[in-house]
Copies of this chain bind each other. A is one copy, B any other.
Amino acid sequence: MARDSEKTKRKILDALALLLAEGGFEGVGINAVARKAGVDKVLIYRYFGGLDQLLAAYAQEGGLWPTWEELTGLGPEKMGRTGLRELTRLIMTGHLDQLRSRPLTQEIMRWELTARNELTDQLARAREETTGLLMEMMGRSDQEPSMARMLAAGAVIHAGITYLILRAATADLYMGVDLTTEQGWQRIRSAVEEIMEAYWDKVEGEFPQKEKEDEP
């Protein structure tokens, strides 16, 4: 009952999260959010400016996207000392686990598939920056001729993990793999690791590398 704008902003953002969790972006609208939050919709216009800007505020809240540490399980100090092969393996399996545990992030990614606006572009750009960071971490990517190829292969596998997770909400099977059981996901996880292993073996066969140590 006390007039607290911060609290009502929270109520609005929480209501949005609830709506997203329930039915995705389908049911999201000014009226629905206001109703769910138990708040007059005019306040959404006042505090956020509109639905788009409300979504922007929500998307930039914490917890939606995993940090590097959540993704790889590596503290910043270990990151430099971890080999490329192991690092990419951690990224892929981490991606699988993290995205799977974030239904709201999944919902946003589904939305990104059908809508394009300033917000979705902004999200995409932020993620591409992360990729750029990874490439820097890999060493000058321009010089390594195998780097561009590896990145494309990584994109395919990363995208595959993403799609299977997004698909799991509306399908039980994908090419014979059960998406509803932990067993099925274990199969996928193993498959990802096997694929990467095989691919790395192939690459290292073609481009024999010095064992990567920490730089002085």
Contact = CB atoms under 8 A, between A and B. Distances in A.
Interface residues of A, number: 54
Contacts of A152: 177, 187-188, 190-191
A60 interface: no
Given A114-B26, A190-B149, A195-B195, A164 B173 contact: no
A32 interface: no
Interface stretch (A33-41, A62-70, A74-82, A153-161): A153-161
Contacts of A144: none
A175 B192 CA distance: 17
Contacts of A164: 155-156, 159
A202 B191 contact: no
A114 B174 contact: no
A195 B166 CA distance: 23
A176 B151 contact: yes
Given A24-B114, A113-B167, A195-B195, A155 B131 contact: no
Contacts of A113: 110, 113, 166-167, 169-170
A199 interface: yes
24 contacts: A25-B114, A112-B170, A113-B113, A114-B114, A115-B170, A120-B170, A120-B171, A135-B176, A151-B176, A153-B191, A153-B194, A154-B175, A155-B164, A155-B176, A155-B177, A156-B192, A157-B160, A158-B160, A159-B159, A159-B160, A159-B167, A195-B195, A195-B198, A198-B199
